[in-house]
Amino acid sequence: TYKKRDPVDVPYQTGQLHPAIRVADLLQHITQMKCAEGYGFKEEYESFFEGQSAPWDSAKKDENRMKNRYGNIIAYDHSRVRLQPIEGELNSDYINGNYIDGYHRPNHYIATQGPMQETIYDFWRMVWHENTASIVMVTNLVEVGRVRIF
């Protein structure tokens, strides 16, 4: 089962939208982007919006700040994963994770940070509650001599 979420009006600037490219036109598009030594790719990349593009009030609560590995990579409210609350524990529904739509599959994926010692229990609660079949790590386990998972 997929969870539907209501559309959200985002009062923040979201940058220029990039039109969809039909599969039949993909090779031609890539060829055009490669012209001028790849300047098309650089120009498109630089047009992406950087910064906050939606509210993240839950992530900024004092009691949730320690659950974010980095202060600038936090969960947006409109698409965040909400854990089942633990009775008697305020803010126990927060984890730094957001749903991501797949092709014709709303909320099919979850992007989350690697668990920290303080959040490992929440991470496995999320995996269990969401009935997760696969976990993929898309960063290095160790970066600049620092282990990414507690």
**Domain definitions of the chain by residue range:** 20-50, 62-147
What residue ranges of the chain have pLDDT lower than 70? Answer: 1-18, 49, 150
What is the pTM assigned to this prediction? 0.69
At 10 the pLDDT is: 43
Amino acid sitting at position 27 = L
Three-state secondary structure readout of the chain? CCCCCCCCCCCCCCCCCCCCCCHHHHHHHHHHHHHHHHHHHHHHHHHCCCCCCCCCHHHHCHHHHCCCCCCCCCCCHHHEEECCCCCCCCCCCEEEEEEEEECCEEEEEEEECCCCCCCHHHHHHHHHHCCCCCCCCCCCCEECCEECCC
